[in-house]
Amino acid sequence: MTETTPQPAAKNVRANDNDGVLTAAHFVLEKFCKQALESNTRGPAELTKLATSFGINRSYRTLINALNKYKSSGLASLKRKEYSGKGESRSFSESALIILQRHYVSSLVMKNAYEDMHKELRSAAVSFIDISTGEEFIIKNGLLHEHPAELQGLTLPSSYSTKFIEGIYRLPGYDPSRIDNNSFELRVGSYKSACRYLGTLDVNEPALFYGRYGIHDYRNKRQHTMKLNYSHLLPGEYIVGDGKQLDVIVISEDWRRVYRPWLMGWYDMATRRYCYELAVHEDSTSIANSLSVAIQQWGVPQSVKTDNGSSYKSGRFQEMCRFFNIEQKFATVKLARAKPIESMHNIIDNLLKSAVGYTGNKYVEMPLDTRDRIKLAIGAQRDAKKYAKAVKENTGFSFNIADPDARLKRSKRRLMHISELKELLESKFDEYHERIHGGLKEDKLGRQAYNINCKDESVNELGEKINCPNGRYLYHVKQGFKPVAAEPGIVALYASNFELRTVQLKTGINLANGEYWHSKLSGIAAQRVVIRYTSVGCRNVYVFHSEELQKVRERGQLDKDIMDSLKFICIAKLQTIIDYNDESAYKDELILQRAEEKAIRDALQNNASLNVSGVIDPPQSNIIQLTGSETDVQVIKQAESEIIEESKPKKNKYKDVDLF
């Protein structure tokens, strides 16, 4: 589709809609004239006083002229005469007006537009006539040179002028002997008349708007929005991704820093479902992590649409799309409606307006409650105002917390922890997925829910629920849809966060207020490990260990050699809290513990040498380097299959035993 740039249209300012037309003011003036003639009012004071009583504010000379006209010709003489050239600009030629308006649209400065118009005409004309003096100048190299009669045909004099005044430009082809030279003469008015003309231009005129704000704003605000139907797509066939920095400040996982998190989200166009990943920065790694969340929840998509940022065209995200054969599409630059996920950002803004730590935006000031919580976090009253301003101005804003154990962890006046924000978003999005969606109601499939003649049994069964995200997905499942699943181990190779942790003897690994445990972790208690996980609050984390890792004190010291030396240990599971009197869940957990004890006794009885460290020795792991080594995948898949077998024991020999 070819886009056309709006062209300026010449306007005329000399025409008056009241020319030759009687108005209410003329009839009031008629009453005044009748009264003045009947009472024989004379003198400036008396005549002006009588005019004021009729609401007429004109000079004495104007009133006398009106009386004389009325005496001679009556009411018809009071109306303005219609111009013979009505609708035409008398000071500018039509071609000169078009050139003037074109330069004004591009520069938006009246003086510059007037001068540029003169310069353009001088580049094409051969001479210029000053109307006020009748003096003629010849034009050479854009300059006006004096052209007296005695110098015609001789070398040009050295004196010249660059003044921009009212006059007439004569174009090549002008012939004094010709009767009609209008097509070879362009009349240019004064600068004041140009200002009067340009001042009447409509600010919202397409050409002026285009010149003032550019092509991107013109597309977003002036062009018609196309409505697209996505109801024929399958879930996961076409998803749109984008990142948004939330208008809320939270405390980091380690309780040491306050920052504004990024929400890396994906929007399924077929069902309007939304999934996300919280990140500290918007980079290729965080984008790949968010895509892994989408793959785990929805399956492998066919195509994804993102903006043109460098993070979407390189790094881990691009490698992930290439491996899973996902087609990448890129949105039009600076066109908001090209990414439907932008509308989802408005929904998220509304959901967080009442959240703790809301920062406000360019339309809403920061709440006083948030300022008080920042004061508590930084522990300095004098700097609170400075930090509150920096939150809104700097997208990379963050600051460290002083003594968090003493003031923050047990305080109800603190900011939200990152894990608490995730819980809040989960509850908000659960409500969103069960709510009727306006976009789904308007598409072809959504209208069938209200059609009394609909023959689709699945639509009739679901009813209006088909117009909520979960209901739309359920409809496709009833139609036989099955998502394309991916191995979690392979997904972890390409998209997972990693952290440095120390293994605790009893609780295992702590991450985002959750505890992850596996029996093999007891053999490396009090040692440092690297854990890889797809998202905060995930069910499983992948644990890696090496001797070189024990020399590292913090994550920033991890280099390529240390990462290459890591060996896969196990997949630790998130430990859940069992409700009291939930005997089924309690027995299942107890069965797994008894099975672990039995395996240890059998190993001791058979004189098996138990590997105290619990470390499996697979081939060297390149999982950090994203090479997709087949040996690493097989080890991880074997560990995953063991989890499935343990969680679903084939034979329960403790079924009839009282475990309490």
CATH number, domain containing residue 274: 3.30.420.10
**365 and 463 belong to one structural domain:** no
Cα-Cα-Cα-Cα torsion 520, 523, 524, 526, nearest 10 degrees, comes to 120
Q: Does residue 84 fall inside a structural domain?
A: no
pLDDT at 620: 32
Q: Is the same domain home to 397 and 311?
A: yes
State how far the Cα of 487 lies from the Cα of 630, in Å rounded to an integer: 13
Do 476 and 592 lie in a common domain? no
Place 637 in a pLDDT band, splitting at 50, 70 and 90. low
Could you tell me if residue 324 is inside a domain?
A: yes
Per the model's pLDDT, the better-predicted residue between 120 and 537 turns out to be: 120
Q: Is 265 helix (H, G, I), strand (E, B) or coil?
A: strand
Q: Are residues 372 and 507 located together in one domain of the fold?
A: no
Question: In terms of domains, do 473 and 512 share one?
Answer: no
- Is residue 395 situated within a structural domain? yes
Residue 164 is assigned to a structural domain of this protein:
no
Same domain as 368, residue 289 = yes
Classify 136 as helix, strand or coil.
Answer: strand
Element (H, E) at 298: helix 284-298
Mean pLDDT of 369-395: 66
Average pLDDT, the chain: 77
Burial class (CB in 10 A: 0-12, 13-18, 19+), 401: buried
Euclidean distance between CA atoms 289 and 639, whole angstroms: 21
Statement to judge: residues 294 and 412 lie in one domain: yes
Are 525 and 505 spatial neighbours (Cβ–Cβ below 8 Å)? yes
User: pLDDT value at position 42?
Assistant: 81
Instruction: Give yes or no: residues 337 and 459 share one domain.
Output: no
At residue 82, the pLDDT reads: 56
φ and ψ at 528, to 5 degrees?
Answer: -85, 140
Using 50, 70 and 90 to split pLDDT, how confident is the model at 393?
low
Structural domain ending residue among the three candidates 400, 418, 433: 433
Sheet arrangement for strand 238-245: 274-279, 262-268, 238-245, 303-306, 327-330
Q: Which of 59, 78, 97 is the last residue of a domain?
A: 78
Same domain, 305 and 447: no
Q: Identify whether the C-beta of residue 497 lies closer than 8 Å to the C-beta of residue 533.
A: yes
- pLDDT digit string (tens) for 370-381? 888 887 777 654
Q: Is 339 inside a domain boundary?
A: yes
pLDDT of residue 394: 59
pLDDT at residue 655 is higher than 70: no
Distance CA 60, CA 53 (A): 14
Q: Same domain for 428 and 441?
A: no
In terms of domains, do 373 and 334 share one? yes
In the block, residue with structure tokens 């691009």: 318
Measured CA to CA, the distance from residue 303 to residue 299 in angstroms comes to: 12
Structural domains in the chain (count): 4
Report whether pLDDT(457) > 80: yes
Task: Name which of 220-224, 605-609, 638-642 the model is least confident about.
Answer: 605-609
- On whether residue 589 sits in a domain, the answer given is yes
Separation of first and last alpha carbons in the chain: 74
Whether 562 is covered by a domain: the verdict is: yes
Residue 524 lies in a domain: yes
Last residue of a domain, one of 416, 433, 450: 433
Structural domain boundaries enclosing 508: 493-647
Is the pLDDT at 581 greater than 80? The verdict is no
Confidence of residue 528 (pLDDT cuts 50, 70, 90): very high
pLDDT tens-digit map of 332-380? 777 766 677 888 888 888 888 888 889 887 778 888 888 888 877 776 5
* CB 237 within 8 Å of CB 271: no
- Report how far residue 496's alpha carbon sits from residue 480's, in angstroms, rounded to the nearest whole number: 31
Given this model, what pLDDT does residue 380 score? 53
- 93-137 pLDDT tens trace: 888 888 888 888 777 788 888 999 999 998 888 888 888 888 888
Least confident of 80-89, 152-161, 170-179, 618-627: 618-627
163-173 mean pLDDT: 86
Across residues 159-186, what is the average pLDDT?
A: 78
Which whole-number Å values give the CA distances from 593 to 599, 606, 659, in the listed order? 10, 20, 12
pLDDT score at 510: 87
Whether residues 366 and 510 share a domain: the answer is no
Percent of the chain with pLDDT over 70: 75
Q: How confident is the model at residue 645 (pLDDT cuts 50, 70, 90)?
A: low
Q: How confident is the model at residue 88 (pLDDT cuts 50, 70, 90)?
A: very low
